[in-house]
Chains A and B, each alone.
Chain A
Amino acid sequence: MMLLGLIPLAASVLLALTSGILSRRLSPGVAVALLTLLALATSVATGIVLCLAAFSALARQPLVAAAGGWSRATWRSWDQLPVGWGVLAAAVAAGLLAGACVYLARATRELVRASRACRRLVVGHHKLVITRDERPTAYSVPAGTGAIVVSTGMLRLLSAGERRALLAHEAAHLRHHHASYLMLTQLAAAANPLLRPLARNVRLAVELWADQVAADEVGDRRIVARALARASLAATRDEPSPSVAMAIAETEVSARVRALVGRPRRLYPVAVAAALTLTLASSTTAVALTWATHRQIEIAQLAYMQAQVRAR
């Protein structure tokens, strides 16, 4: 019975593997929304299944059975998951829950800190903060009303068209609530580390999404690609990139440039259907196992009460 519980785990692994294709081939807005949904559903399903496995193994222990008032024998005939595995599942579930809590706390702290900083910045409804700094930097801060922070070094580097592309890219992050998607997928990945590659791919897809919005606004994908190229090269000259980045065959920037100068994307119904099926399967498993376990508790309790009556 509890073998069914492996479905969410398998779905997590498969989702992590397919998320790369989905994030690169689907229209980025669709990819981000879809992957966020799938990550959350799979993560919750995994957590539920782990808890059920832990409960089901521990429910056969004399102390637990006595406290719950159910029959150990009835329970044993239903599920033979070794106690050791149950304890392991409980430990893993507790660890993952703690991981998710740590992530939530950290994200909240950083958001509050950024929000406080934002309030002190002079931000009109244009939301632009220009720092007098020769190093080329640009980023968006989703806290409060949101802010786009760009250094003068970055602005001097770019032509008017490229500046427009950069600003449109950062504004798109704020307008389309990209930070929320990032936080939700990273929360899902904290609660289920198998989904970490998926979270990385969502990060890429979010950048692709903002690039696309910028390209639509400027009306020329090559201008966005040039802005990205110029900014990235200048930043690399400033401080050599860490050796970790060198090891990765295709990094974020090259994927983005390829998406901008390559052919337009199209929807892949088969890939979407496969990912949705995986998630549906793991969610259904979690619900079905929960229901079956609940029913088993009731049966075991009934057996326990009958035994009590017979004993009198």
Chain B
Amino acid sequence: MPPEARGRPRGALEREILACLAAAAVPLSPAEVRDELGDGLAYTTVMTTLSRLHAKGAVSRQPAGRGYAYALRGGPDEAQASMTAHRMLKLLDTGSNRAGVLSRFIADLSHQDEQLLNDLLADSARPGTDPP
């Protein structure tokens, strides 16, 4: 494991890079991905991980300038994966997940919760605090 990826379990950097590409509207160069992720990652670490993801067919790339720009791969497989995931989501939403097989990141909110969360976000909406 390269020293830059320390503190991340196996597969975590790949997940972050995939998530970064999915959140971006346009294909990103390795330098752009590194800048977006921040956290002192080295260019070579990002580059290596992107190449590995490309080799595995998880991302597509197109020539851009002297290198490549990467995007999340969209294709028949991806569409099917999306459909399957939707089915599972439905399973979760209809409340048939009573045995607790899936863990959702978010739960229902009360009004007090909303207030608390809005305060929290307002508190941290100062410069240099990792804005969205």
Contact = CB atoms under 8 A, between A and B. Distances in A.
Interface stretch (A34-42, A82-90, A247-255): A247-255
User: Is the contact region of chain A dominated by helix, strand, or loop, or is it mixed?
Assistant: helix
A128 B13 CA distance: 11
Interface string B68-92: 0000101001101110111111011
Interface of B: 7-12, 14-16, 18-20, 22-23, 36-39, 56, 58, 72, 74, 77-78, 80-82, 84-89, 91-92, 96-114, 116-118, 120-121, 124, 130-132
B82 A183 contact: no
A245 B19 contact: no
Interface string A151-180: 010111111111110111111010100110
Given A110-B97, A121-B84, A167-B12, A152 B23 contact: yes
Interface residues of A, number: 91
B104 to A, nearest CB: 5
Contacts, number: 232
B11 A125 contact: yes
Contact of A217 (B8, B23, B99): B8
B16 A167 contact: yes
Given A140-B103, A252-B107, A253-B117, A163 B97 contact: no
A300 interface: no
A251 B113 CA distance: 8
B130 A179 contact: no
Contacts of A156: 23
Interface in A204-253: 206-207, 210, 217, 219, 222-223, 225-226, 228-233, 235-236, 241-242, 244-249, 251-253
